[in-house]
Amino acid sequence: MCADTAIRQAPAPADGDVLLEARDLARYFDVSKPWLNRVLERSEKLSLKAVDGVSFAIRRGETMALVGESGCGKSTVARLVVGLYGLTRGTLTFDGEDISDLAGRTGRQAAAVRKRFQMIFQDPYASLNPLWRVGTIIGEPLRFFRPEMSGAARRQRVGELLEQVGMSPMDANRYPHEFSGGQRQRISIARALANEPEFMICDEPTSALDVSVQAQILNLMRDLQDEYGLTYLFISHDMAVVKHMADRIAVMYLGRIAEIAPADQLFATPHHPYSKMLLAAVPSLEGGGKERSVIQGEVPNPVHPPPGCAFHPRCPHANERCKAEVPALIARVDGSEVACHGVEEGRIE
């Protein structure tokens, strides 16, 4: 998919160099029928558990990827981190500051935190205002976070940002519909870089692009990370993209994390049965006739999740404990963390 397909080696920063830490994140959505319908039909309130007890830490300067099938809660985690959704429970800490209430903050207090991170969305066209010129779109964060900047200085900075992402300063006078999908994503990246953030949340940033364009955008993001020391939370369902970008990978399933491991280790020796199934389903050009396996079964309904381990209806190693007890995410001596009774008991290598 990319010219550079080597698995990235995770850095080894100090333990105290954690930029973002999430503990027991949860977000439930009320999907109940209206109150009168519930009274007449004698039905109960229903909650969709999009995220249910997610914990992880991201070190400064690294890329951590969240992977999993559609509907597993990856994008919800991203929106919780940036404060687009409030937390049902749990805590978020950014550079030592508790930002669990970020969704409810307003004014300067919120701006001081939000200035330090930005988000790149999946659809580059939907995330850009079609009625604004590119220069206005990229300059908007500067107007908000740096109101003291003059108009001339802002226009100069917009031109510099466009050049950084491989475009021309003259493109500031054009509208989003005049660009290709890859160019629009470059504009989105330029806008995200405008206020010089430290942390960027990338929600499927290349899934709407052609394969050749994906490689260009991914290489651009890695170059910008090397230049500015950016930290990424990278969300994707494409394991080939994750292999190109990530230092560490967190595998999600039905609102929970199944496994966290360094990228090279996860691709070489995954522990959780779900991680193994995801990797077995990835097409390979080097397999010498090795058949790709299809993940069996379907993701359960998050409104009515199965008891115990959510993966047990699809797991060939499930036993009675798996059907009754939710597995905890346990650290292993090899540096990975796995939430699986079979791995904990030694039944699964």
The rounded distance, in Å, linking the Cα atoms of 165 and 183 is 9
Q: What are phi and psi of 200, to 5 degrees?
A: -130, 135
Which helix (H) or strand (E) segment holds residue 42: the answer is none
Biggest CA pair distance of the chain: 68
Helix/strand/coil for 259: strand
Q: What percent of the chain has pLDDT over 70?
A: 91
How many whole angstroms from its chain centre is CA 34? 33
Q: Count, in order, helices (H) and strands (E) of the chain.
A: 12, 12
When pLDDT is cut at 50, 70 and 90, the band that residue 287 belongs to is low
Looking at the DSSP bridge assignments, the partners of residue 199 are: 117, 231
Residues 18-116+197-345, CATH architecture:
3-Layer(aba) Sandwich (3.40)
The values of phi and psi at residue 239, to 5°, are -65, -30
Summarised one tens digit per residue, pLDDT across range 179-232 is 998 899 999 999 999 988 999 999 988 887 788 888 888 889 999 999 889 999
Question: Can you point out the beta strands (E) in the chain?
Answer: 18-30, 47-59, 63-67, 89-94, 97-98, 117-120, 199-203, 231-235, 248-253, 256-262, 330-331, 337-338
Burial of 252 (0-12, 13-18, 19+ CB in 10 A): buried
Confidence of residue 239 (pLDDT cuts 50, 70, 90): confident
Alpha helices, DSSP H, located in 246-333 = 263-268, 273-280, 320-324
The whole-chain average pLDDT of the chain stands at 87
pLDDT class for 271, splitting at 50, 70, 90? very high
